[in-house]
């Protein structure tokens, strides 16, 4: 049964405290292949200022950092943030912060915003607030990349519904660059243009 409201940070903190790597980001061949696809789908070799929402324990963060002049990575779990900081300690241009979006969104302008396996944790109201934040935080011509599991979930949204709702909330500023469906997940890349 689907949850009605956005999932609370305590849910994720409990998972990381209990299991360390609850989704096996460090060891799963599926996750490694998905990360390879994610990085291969990036439309440029380098980005000036990236934002990764839901960085977990930093496995993808460490790889994404090699493609960004500066990268801000966020997660709601204190335990996950500590693991990500340790994993990325040798990359001084990566900042990792514990924040909950959309209400605790960071300042700044980003030419890449990565939302990997996170939007379906939010309810519709939070997705609308997230879209408002993205509109203010994305550089003109910047990119938003989404990667989401498309199987059954008990989250507030399915992967498909989460992507569709965020796309609708962003309105006519979005140009779809690609939308790829794999066996278990979808990968969407959007370009955001200035309003008006």
Cβ atoms of 166 and 146 within 8 Å: the answer is yes
How far is the C-alpha of 177 from the C-alpha of 84, rounded, in Å? Answer: 30
CA 37 to chain centre: 15
E strand or H helix that includes residue 116:
strand 110-116
pLDDT tens digit at each of 196 positions of the chain:
678 899 998 888 888 888 877 777 888 999 999 999 999 999 999 999 999 999 999 999 999 999 999 999 999 999 999 999 999 999 999 999 999 999 999 999 999 999 999 999 999 999 999 999 999 999 999 999 999 999 998 899 999 999 999 999 999 889 999 999 999 999 999 999 875 4
137 contacts 105 by C-beta, under 8 angstroms: yes
Q: Tell me what pLDDT residue 47 has.
A: 98
Instruction: Kindly give, in sequence order, each residue whose CB lies less than 8 Å from that of residue 126, ignoring residues fewer than 6 positions away.
Output: 6, 102
What is the spatial distance between Cα 89 and Cα 30, in angstroms, rounded to a whole number?
25
pTM recorded for the entire structure: 0.94
Residues in the chain: 196
Q: What's residue 84's pLDDT?
A: 96
CA 178 to each of CA 19, 34, 67: distance values in angstroms, whole numbers, following the listed order: 34, 16, 20
Burial 72-97 (b: 16+ CB within 10 A, else e): bbbbbbebbbbbbbebbeebeebebe
| Domains of the chain, each with CATH number or no CATH | 9-192 (3.40.50.150)
Q: What is the strand order of the sheet 68-75 is part of? A: 94-98, 68-75, 47-53, 110-116, 138-149, 185-192, 174-181
């Amino acid at each position: 049964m689907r949850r009605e409201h956005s999932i609370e940070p305590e849910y994720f903190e409990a998972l990381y405290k209990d299991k360390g790597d609850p989704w096996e980001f460090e060891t799963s061949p599926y996750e490694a292949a998905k990360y390879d696809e994610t990085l291969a789908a990036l439309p440029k070799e380098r980005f000036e200022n990236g934002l990764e929402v839901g960085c977990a324990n930093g496995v993808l963060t460490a790889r994404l950092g090699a493609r960004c002049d500066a990268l801000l990575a966020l997660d709601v779990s204190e335990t996950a943030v500590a693991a990500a900081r340790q994993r990325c300690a040798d990359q001084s241009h990566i900042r990792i912060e514990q924040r909950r979006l959309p209400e605790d969104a960071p300042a700044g302008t980003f030419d890449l915003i990565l939302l990997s396996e996170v939007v379906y944790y939010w309810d519709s109201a939070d997705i609308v607030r997230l879209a408002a934040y993205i509109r203010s935080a994305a550089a003109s011509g910047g990119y938003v990349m989404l990667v989401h599991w498309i199987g059954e979930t008990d989250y507030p949204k399915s992967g498909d519904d989460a992507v569709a709702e965020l796309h609708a909330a962003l309105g006519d500023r979005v140009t779809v660059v690609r939308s790829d469906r794999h066996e278990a997940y979808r990968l969407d890349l959007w370009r955001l243009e200035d309003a008006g």
